[in-house]
Structure 1
Amino acid sequence: MTTIVILGAGPAGAAVALGLRRLGYAVTLVSEWRRFAALEGVSLRVLEALRGAGLHQALAQATLPSQRQVNWNGQQHAQNVEFLLDRPIFDRGLRVDLRLAGVELIEGRVLSVQTCESGHRVEIDGRQALDADFLVEARGRQAPALGKGLRGPETVSLLNRWQGTPGNTASAVESLADGWAWMARRADGQCYWQWTVDVASAGLPGKAQLLEYCRQRRRESTVARSFFGDEPEIDLQLHARSSTAILSPQVCGDNWVRIGDAGDGGRPLSGNGIF
């Protein structure tokens, strides 16, 4: 029997694992689960696609509908309904979906992948190595690069999260001179503001000053001030990650394939969300 190992348990890796199980293949999935709280915006079309892939438990408690407000190039309007996805809840449900389908789950950090004509050997921190006939690389932008590839302008997404006053669930987006901001507020008062910016033109300060710089930029925005109000930002935290568009030079071989952002992280200035 063909031994299949999938690296990464995001929506792409999970959907492939469930699809392979429906075809009768044995699947082992290795993943380091996300360690920070995040809220992601998804459309109804994406929501239906995730359900179609079999992610029912992942979506059971994770989604909150929100009428998204848009301020783009000075034009204001209410866009289509956006569903806010609580990523930690989604990930917990995703693990349930995978286990119910018979996928073997291994939580651990992949140290290395050695590939030869006959297969692959996956070294995992603190665990026995895995041998695979076929490998699915689904670790997103954390996947090791294959050669030089095509890389767009360097962009970074700066996610600010804090505790505010409980209220209505809402989300909004705003275009800015050097990028754009996505913002969301949950009913329990958890607030999110993500600024996705072109690194070359933004003039970002050093890491120590970055949190305060984001707070200053947020206060300069009429849209953000109206959305969040003037209430204190309790337990304000910052998480930065690359959002640079990347196209891998090769996405498949005879016994491996790269999927999702591991193969085509090609959304310039993309922020939180599943596409």
Structure 2
Amino acid sequence: MIVILGAGPAGAAVALGLRRLGYAVTLVSEWRRFAALEGVSLRVLEALRGAGLQQALADAALPSQRQVSWNGQQHAQNIEFLLDRPSFDRGLREDLRLAGVELIEGRVLSVQASGVGHRVEIEGREALFADFLVEARGRQAPALGKGLRGPETVSLLNRWQGTPGSTASAVESLEDGWAWMARRADGQCYWQWTVDVASAQLPGKATLPDYCRARRQGSAWAREFFGVGPETDLQLHARSSTAILSPQVCGDHWIRVGDAAMAVDPLSGNGIFQSLSSALQAPT
């Protein structure tokens, strides 16, 4: 039996590819705990469809003419698709079920390797034994020694309820990083600020939402994009966005794919595209 840890696009693509080859596949994952919105390019959508994720994309992607303000230059040349991750993840699970993948929702406690496979301990369930293991838990995957790392960066995702309007997205370069902005028709607003950890001098967790709001309101571009309406139910999630290359990506009876093998800067869905690149090659 092949066991895949992680149900993001990379893990799902590997699972679907292996099922097409006739293998029995079990996928173990904790589902995303917060509502995220991601901007992806047309090539990412094509790659996702090519991997077999049809239900995942049925109602999850909305097109947007992305506005760009970068190094003093402004343009709107590209179409960006806003991927609603809760809808996408629900459809992804349906794609996996239709393909015959066994789904287990749970937290992986430990993975113990032996000469013939892996024992996977899952919270609240009996352990699984995998003849072959695919590590696809992204940045949450345990590190394998000291890999190569780029500058330490963090992405601060701010989400709040604003005034309903038109769907839109934008990206802006800043002195100490860059910000991605999105606004859905239902008024859900997203502002993700990616900064260098060493030079950002961020405040403590308790005051971080107010600090981000001040930085956002200090940008004329962001003020114009979001307008002056009320911001309610503000939520903030911090995620590492440091580029990482694992020192080893495969061995006897196991392989790492997606961000677990190589994580890159998430600008414009590039992270999803790179993850899929390794995932689509894994079954071969």
TM-score (norm 1): 0.97
Partner of residue 46, structure 1: 44
Tell me if structure 1 keeps the 8 A contact 2:154–2:238: yes
Q: Is contact 1:72-1:174 (8 Å) kept?
A: yes
What displacement does 1:79 show? 2.8
- Which residue, 157, 161, 165 being the options, matches 1:167? 165
Q: Which amino acid aligns with 1:150?
A: L
Q: 1:272 to 1:131 in 2, by over 3 A?
A: farther
| Equivalent residue, structure 2, for 1:151 | 149
- Could you tell me how far 1:158 is from its partner in structure 2? 0.3
Question: 1:148-227 residue pairs with structure 2 within 5 A?
Answer: 148-227=146-225
Show CA shifts across 1:80-114 (max 9, x none).
10000000000000000000000000000000000
- The Cα of 1:18 is off from its aligned counterpart by 0.3
Alignment match, 1:76: 74
CA distance in 2, matches of 1:258, 1:120: 14
1:177-217: CA deviations, max 9, x gaps?
11100000001110000000001111100111100000000
Q: What is the number of equivalent residue pairs in this alignment?
A: 271
Q: Which residue in the other structure is 2:100 paired with?
A: 102
Q: Is the Cα–Cα contact under 8 Å of residues 38 and 85 in structure 2 kept in the other structure?
A: yes
Aligned counterparts of 1:21 and 1:234: Cα–Cα separation in 2: 44
Q: Which structure 1 segments of 5+ residues have no match?
A: none
Long gaps (5+) in structure 2: 274-284
Q: Is the CA contact 1:157–1:271 (under 8 Å) kept in the aligned structure 2?
A: no
Q: What is aligned with 1:62?
A: 60
The aligned counterpart of 1:264 is 262
CA contact (8 A) 1:243 1:271 kept: no
Give the structure 2 partner of residue 137 of structure 1.
Answer: 135
The match for 2:277 is none
Any conservation in 2 of the 1:171–1:184 contact (CA below 8 Å)?
A: yes
Q: Which amino acid aligns with 2:117?
A: G
Alpha-carbon contact 2:154-2:242 (below 8 Å) kept: yes
Runs of at least 4 residues off by over 6 Å: none
Cα contact 1:66–1:84 (8 A) shared by 2: yes
What do residues 47-94 of structure 1 show as CA deviations (whole Å, max 9, x unaligned)?
A: 011001110000001010000000000000003100000000000000
Q: In the alignment, which of 110, 113, 120 is matched to residue 112 of structure 1? A: 110
User: SS of 1:79's equivalent?
Assistant: coil
Letter aligned with residue 245 of structure 2: L
Q: Kindly indicate whether the alpha-carbon contact (under 8 Å) linking 2:144 and 2:248 is maintained by their aligned counterparts in 1.
A: yes
What is the aligned partner in structure 2 of residue 254 from structure 1? 252
1:196–1:271 Cα contact (<8 Å) kept: no
AA paired with 1:26?
A: A
The alignment's TM-score, normalised by the length of structure 2, stands at 0.94
| Distance (Å, rounded) in 1 between the aligned partners of 2:268 and 2:214 | 21
Q: Sequence identity of aligned pairs in percent?
A: 85
CA–CA distance in 2 between the matches of 1:230 and 1:75? 24
Change (3 A) 1:44 1:272: closer
